[in-house]
Structure 1
Amino acid sequence: MSLEHDLQQEKFSSVHNKAAVNILYTSSWLYNLNASRLKDYDITPEQFNVLRILRGSHPKPLMLADIALRMIDKNSNATRLVEKLRQKGFLKREICEENRRQVDIIITDKGLNVLKRIDSDEAEWLAKLKTITKAEAQELNRILDKLRG
């Protein structure tokens, strides 16, 4: 499907304007696909992102600021996300032994297990992206990196 068809818009002011709209539209499409698959696990894409960050540092704990810095969506409320995940038992917060003002955040076994279950469904989710070849995906990554660079 073309962007023009999906948005029912025949013209864009420039090819760069169309590219920007296309990136935003595709980002929303991917976000919704991701949100839909994560619903079965009772977590949001933002919560999933926090869990992935914590798994990446495991067993080393992270501070809230470290998590916020690594998040995909910089506008997400990391404090609220961490608290929701703590209530679900996916992570824990502990006072640091060396610095009583520091709170360390650590993924729990329950959090690691939910990520393992989500990982087992990843191939099915990524299959929706296999309409492009590996070479095209590499080129897309290069272009997107260049755009942000």
Structure 2
Amino acid sequence: MEKPEGPLLPSEPHPKVSIRHLDYLNRPKILVLMIGTISFAANGAIFPAFGVLISSVISLYYKPPAQLKNDMRFWAIILVVLIIASFLVTVAQKYFFSITGSKLIRRIRLMCFDKVVHIEVGWFDESAHSSGVIGARFSIDAVSVHATVL
């Protein structure tokens, strides 16, 4: 009699899951992923922009005092705008990637639960396949996927 397929036991080796497969499972949330990716790229551009801004501010100190006062106001406003943009982009990045990660984990848990529900009843008679072991496995796998996605 063949061993029925089901969730892996903790002693069994974990199968390699490709990022491509996770991308396939995340396909329904592609728009949210794109917004998160754009936010991620904008967040990466913030620090070089800060560097250019600081170098421009430092160069102002070599100008006459009348021009220094006007230029400093301009660069102070630009600095405040850049700080607000940095805050908004960071929040957007975390928010959109958290949404996609949570939906992916939910989808994976539902797929695993569906597999467990359709396994033969005799498989659950073994102590290694108790509800506690299966629940722990769902939790561990979800945390692993969550760490990979985020």
TM-score by length of 1: 0.31
Larger Rg: 2
* Structure having the larger proportion of residues in strand: 1
TM-score by length of 2: 0.30
Query: Greater relative contact order: 1 or 2 (C-alpha under 8 angstroms, separation 6 or more)?
Result: 2
